[in-house]
Amino acid sequence: MAAHTPAATATTRVPDVPYDLAIDFGGDRFPVSGSRPRLSWKPPLSAVAADDTYELQVRIGEQPVRSVLTVGHLLVDWPVRELGSGERVRWRVRNRACADDSAWSDWHTFEAGLLDADWTASWITPEEDPQSAQLPPGTRPARSLRTTFRTPGAVRARLYATALGVYEVFVNGERAGGAELTPGSTSYDLTLYAQAADVTSSVRPGTNTIEIVLSDGWYRGQVGAFRKPAGWGELLAARMELHLELADGTHQVVRTDQHWTSSACSVVRADLMDGQITDFRTPAAPDSEQRPVLVDAVTAPPVDWSPAPPVRSIEDLPCVSLTRLRSGAWIADFGQNASGWVTLTDLGPAGTRTVIDYGEHLDPATGDLTTTHLDCQRPGDPVTVFRQHDEVVSSGAAGEVFEPRHTVHGFRYARLQRGEAPLDATSLAMRVVHTDLRPTGAFACSNEDLNRLYAVARWSFRGNAVDVPTDCPTRERIGWTGDYQVFAPTAARLYDIHGFSRKWLRSVRDDQLDDGRIANFSPDGRRIKLGTDQRLDMMTGSAGWGDAVVLVPWLLYRTYGDRQVLAENWDAMVRWVEWALTTARSARHPSRITRSAEPLPHEEFLWDGSFHWGEWCEPKPRTEDGSVTETVPGAPEDWMKADKGEVGTAFLYRSTAKLAEIAAVLRHGEEATRYRRLAGRIKDAWRTEFLDDTGHTSVDSQASYVRALAYGLAPDDLRDAASARLTELILKAGTHLGTGFLSTADLLPVLADTGHADLAYEVLLQRTSPSWLGMLDRGATTIWEEWDGVDENGDAHESLNHYSKGAVINFLHTHTLGLREADDSVAWDRFVVAPVVHSSVSWARGTFESPRGTITVEWRMEDDDLHLTVDVPPACTAAVVLPGSDDVTVGPGLCTVRRRIDVR
């Protein structure tokens, strides 16, 4: 594993033409859009302002080129007529606002997908044999759907496909496209995406065969820690059209219909969570065993095209060690916890069965794989035993390779059992599989501990970006709203998450309950919006979790300038905030009822009477020497009933205040005024209930002071007192943090911004638990769910790949490097460079690929002199802020500053 991803040490200036042309849709090996894609590009060096005038040239198919003028360069509305299905587009752009028109950009090409109204294919469902139909989720086989067709040969072949389930398509035995786990995870009752592939090279004159391999996937497979079946539907189905352009100019379409057949295939078990079993001895079923398909036996939503990049096989990691246990099993260590699967190229002689189990940890006593830390149990229920388990049986054919594409695993280690058959480490690889997000940020510094932390946190997000942002790639693998709300600002500094987040937010909206609550996770295969699970219903609607529907769209607007993402989430945001306001007004925590039978005036704005997860995973209290303070554990119902009104009310203020800002952006004047007024009332209520006149919170926890300072809840005259109490609590805990899920990301920025930068770095560089470097010292290659994910005895606890606490690395960007977006900026048109220098770091450098171009910052200390270089992209300004000197505002180009500063 690389220690870090190095930032560029020098800036390569782009030519004076627009570049990096893109549309706001994804695609596998070529971009595929709906009928009205939005266009973006980076401005040329000569660009004057963000709202420069540009000339576009657009060519649709063989039609003449059209020229249009437009303003701006980010997410420009489609400027000509709506596209029809399959139309191919070429477009380019030049700047018309500079003294001399810039040169034309390179041409960018994309094509429209098969639009919903134009699909003529039927949904086909495999007829399952009676035995398979009775199997429970997790044990069902995949099914093969097949047809043949004849063609004189095609000069162009586009395959459009989707499914209710996970599917692969093969044309004459060649796999179509490179996307994995298609059609992806969505809320299948309302949203379904299709995929397009160029299969021209696979089609040949004469008879051709198409096969679809279809498995349960996210549609009806197992979901979550307790392996409950997804409730989207009972029947799998696929829909496909192959459009052929023939040499004589005519067209031929092959589609799913009643002429297809279904049968068993070599994938004899497939489940995304439990794993896949492949028996290569299973031949293609003869005609006599082919069963007819069911036609249009399912109900599916309209087909759409995704704004997100696809899931892909990103890279292969070699087996770094292969150890044989006394039992005869082999333990393969790939050196890195990640998401994906093992590929195996040596399957042994015919009949050799290789059994593969995956996990994150080895038993310190035996060296064997252990996954007991991922088992789950609800009070009163039996244990749900965790497993990720693949098997493959060899047919003995030359060149046979096992790659289980109908499942995905989170792991660093694999245990392989194959009897006495030998195993060579070179035949094994970890195939890293996740959404193919484009990297946008890089960071490196003189402190190797921080470089390693940066890499580990980055890997943790990668492992949890598998089509949706998941909490972990092992035990649950679901899109918890709180996790992504916490980490999204950090993710936006690492990768382009625009389309990825928009796709997920559509599921968040799809899963919203009728009363306005946001589901704990989306896509919600448990379908809590139907009210089928009383326990889940009771635990839905938590502060910090549901607020993702407000805070994530706001982040996307600020980062990428996407006003539309605010508009498309506006109704869901309003319904969520209005539900929270109503709940605050109508439900009271029992402790306040005891205090006063009648609510006090400010209690109308205290959100304390419904369920909140609260400050999840707070470390146990510690003394100054770092030892754990003994506490009496409470029953689960005690935790459920605890007063979490401080957290709830703080987030109610935060989301209501943001909703006022969003209303202003969308020009909803009355709503902006109303929510601004309500936010003020909520802030006053929080101060009345939770803050005294000495600046101390009633909760008196590190997290409560972080919220008070980060969200602007503490009044100006009490901020110093609140920050002083925060530092006192940290020092009392032996310079250890005491924050949990919701506040850890803000802890170090709050300390640095309130004049306690030295303490921020002390906490960051702390090595004893709870700490980030403590995780690394105990072998972490991804961020753990618990601070003591691996304890002093080497035993594992909970998930070892939960990215939320990795949000700390945003501090390395915003404070150590010193690069942050200005408070009043949109899409990085203004940014601040203000490094917070500390004796533990003598230099730092980094880049950020902003929507306007590459920003580069590099600084180094020589004696007491700070040497700082900033490269500002076109149409941007930067404020350089250094201790003991006036702020300097600089425009596009290179800026070098030297200042003498005091570094302790």
CA pair distance 100, 96, nearest whole angstrom: 8
Task: Locate the DSSP E strands across 165-205.
Answer: 166-171, 174-175, 192-193, 195-198
Sign of the Cα torsion 743, 745, 750, 756 reads positive
Nearest Cα residue to 290 out of 254, 264, 269, 257? 264
Determine phi and psi for 868, rounding to 5 degrees.
-125, 135
CA pair distance 899, 869, nearest whole angstrom: 12
CA pair distance 264, 64, nearest whole angstrom: 50
Q: What residues have CB less than 8 Å from 137, skipping those under 6 apart? A: 216, 220, 221, 222, 227, 229, 230, 271
Nearest Cα residue to 360 out of 900, 845, 796? 796
* CA angle centred on 847, ends 841 and 850, rounded to 5°: 140
Helix (H, G, I), strand (E, B) or coil at 812: helix
CA pair distance 217, 358, nearest whole angstrom: 19
Nearest Cα residue to 463 out of 656, 598, 315, 251? 315
> Which residues are catalytically annotated?
476, 785
H helix runs in 782-890, sequence order: 809-811
Give the other-Cβ count within 10 Å of 817's Cβ: 29
Q: Give bridge partners of residue 393 from the DSSP assignment.
A: 279, 353
Q: Which 8-state DSSP code applies to residue 101?
A: P
User: Strand order in 32-33's β-sheet?
Assistant: 32-33, 108-112, 88-95, 53-60, 66-71
Cβ pair 484, 504 in contact under 8 A: yes
Cβ pair 471, 480 in contact under 8 A: yes
Q: Which 8-state DSSP code applies to residue 852?
A: T
CA dihedral 335, 341, 343, 344 (to 10 degrees): 90
CA pair distance 310, 371, nearest whole angstrom: 29
User: In a 10 Å sphere around its CB, with 0-12 CB exposed, 13-18 middle and 19+ buried, how is residue 136 labelled?
Assistant: exposed
String of DSSP letters for 530-566: GT--HHHHHT---TTTTTHHHHHHHHHHHHH--HHHH
Nearest Cα residue to 604 out of 581, 621, 626? 581
Burial 835-853 (b: 16+ CB within 10 A, else e): bbbbebbeebbbbbbbbbb
CA pair distance 369, 417, nearest whole angstrom: 12
Can you read off the two tokens belonging to residue 522? 């989306």
CA pair distance 412, 276, nearest whole angstrom: 18
Can you read off the two tokens belonging to residue 167? 């599917």
Residues, the chain: 904
Q: How far is CA 46 from CA 17, 36, 75, 828, 876, in A?
A: 8, 29, 20, 18, 12
CA pair distance 122, 838, nearest whole angstrom: 64
Residue that has been written with the tokens 């972490």 in this structure: 780
